[in-house]
Structure 1
């Protein structure tokens, strides 16, 4: 079968090289049926070659239905598609994250482009431990902000008090219809005041402040604040899963995390940026908790923009203190986001979108009654 496929389509593939790759490689035909495998495929899935040949690719439990649609898209566009740190539908042993690449196999210069129907899928397995190690490095770096945070907190307190007082005076004189905005200002000032108190003790873990939180209530508040201010001209689309269970976290910290990420998207993509805020339940995602164990974080909020995306030189360093892609940026906002998510036993990561823009993933543990 291998020889026939190679000779019939003149595919420029060295079988000896492919057999020793650490990635799993699958060749899919025009009907998304697996016609050949190479590399690490049998070891990754713990299945023999006979299991794969003739099977629809979207029937592989680790991939799910999305892989079939991706093959259709790259075939129609005669292009490629890549995604990184994607959780598997079901864990493959110790593997819970994969890097995924799909590309049309070019048959030959004398063959019409429309006949290039085979797709080569490349799957690079990632152990969750390597991802957790990187996350812990980010958290450790964020702890170095403690001294600076205390100084900033001292400087912030006085203007906050004046803003709150002014908003209260406006609220007293406003009609019932006009009271909404000044009341929101007071509420936001109170929330920021709590954050300032936490900044003063930034080096302390606040894990004991976690509570039961409805993530959609958090998002409703975040979107109201954003649309009333810095994102007033942005086009924001919400795609929520209303069936999501409650999470374990802190309402105010989650508001701050999501506001920071939305503001980051607006600053990166401009005032009229298009943003998609999505909630979903995802299996197979784990992070290290404060007791040294592992904790599931299946409730995910993603914030996707159509801006320029992440600069290549910042990849892997985006959540470190004082790292910023903005000319006048301080590099503190995303470091605080990483810190807050760590304190809530959650996780945050970012990747470039398949075509443009950046996608931030905020992952939260489920609330469990003690």
Structure 2
């Protein structure tokens, strides 16, 4: 029979290999207690080896319940098991997702558990999707605005001429035509926003002034019956962006949350500082995106068939929606060198996150 010292000794013999790995490695005994830790366990979970060893895997920060269940099943089935995209509750720094792999090891029910952070990988994949949506909507908007807008004025003029006949039946029909033409024109005007050649200056913006203004608009209008829960970090420095466009971004996101969750929705808006998020812009320059604004609703969440496509033009989950609001968000945020992502929250509802750069970084340049 092997004891924990023998098993740990075998693992220690591979010290150099283990410490070259990016994940956390735990040796778990038959009672689901952590008996040893390797690789990046202390760094990832921000706890010392002494604090981790001897504790239950069920108490592992952020993923204890999931880790305990995976280890127990792997021991029972005597087979390696994997669990992907496990959400940390709460996140650890900028890490929000983890992959876990449990492997039976030796006798007496020992398990080796490896835990791999996935926050940055998932973030980069979603950023690429958002930027692709922003590029596609620009070209499509330019084409449609040109092709549709010209004939609309002719149709509207003809309808107004018909109305002069003062026939009641014709009046009803012409009124319908004019209203529908005006509705289409509004849609085209929205499309033109994407392809507008006008330059928009990005500068230092107090993100809380933007959010306060947006919340006032929401409370006075479409969100009059909603509960808004602002959880702001007042110490955040100015972000790099355009004040008017940031208002449009968060007005769209909050309106989208209200429409998804209903007229009495409970919406939480959080601002926070995230360390360790660096992305490359179109010029290949590394940009830090430490300011995060989260909009979380209590609705049914994002349907499976829409996940990964919400920022595409003309994709909408609500009846009568144009599918342009979130595409507009993607375009504006991209123009401000930021990124926007969305996913279902582990406790329910949809959560949109906007990451923004600091104005001081953009002014001085980043490495």
TM-score by length of 2: 0.62
1:102-154: per-residue Cα shift (whole Å, max 9, x none)? 7999xxxxxxxxxxxx9967425454654543333222222222344578999
RMSD: 4.6
Report matched runs for 1:70-109 at 5 Å. 70-71=62-63, 82-83=86-87, 89=93, 99-100=97-98
Distance 1:340 1:207, change over 3 A: same
Structure-2 residue corresponding to 1:142: 137
1:362 aligns with 2:354: yes
1:259 aligns with 2:251: yes
Report matched runs for 1:308-327 at 5 Å. 308-327=300-319
- List alignment gaps of at least 5 residues for structure 1: 6-18, 59-66, 91-96, 106-117, 156-195
Match of 1:219 among 211, 214, 232: 211
* Structure 1 residue 252: Cα displacement: 0.8
Q: Paired residues, what number?
A: 281
TM-score by length of 1: 0.61
Greater alpha carbon shift after TM alignment, 320-329 vs 237-246? 320-329
Partner Cα distance (2:239, 2:141) in 1: 27
Partner Cα distance (1:129, 1:75) in 2: 25
Report matched runs for 1:1-370 at 5 Å. 24=23, 26-27=25-26, 34-35=34-35, 42=39, 45=40, 54-56=49-51, 68-71=60-63, 82-83=86-87, 89=93, 99-100=97-98, 122-125=115-118, 126-127=120-121, 130-143=125-138, 144-148=140-144, 200=192, 202-203=194-195, 209-368=201-360, 369=363
- List alignment gaps of at least 5 residues for structure 2: 5-17, 54-58, 73-82, 104-110, 153-187
* Structure 1 residue 56: Cα displacement: 3.9
Partner Cα distance (2:316, 2:24) in 1: 36
* CA contact 2:276–2:290 (8 Å) conserved in 1: yes
Higher Rg: 2
Question: Any idea what SS the aligned residue of 2:270 has?
Answer: strand
Distance 1:28 1:298, change over 3 A: farther
* Structure 1 residue 294: Cα displacement: 2.5
1:250-287: per-residue Cα shift (whole Å, max 9, x none)? 11111111011111111111111111100001012233
Partner Cα distance (1:235, 1:76) in 2: 36
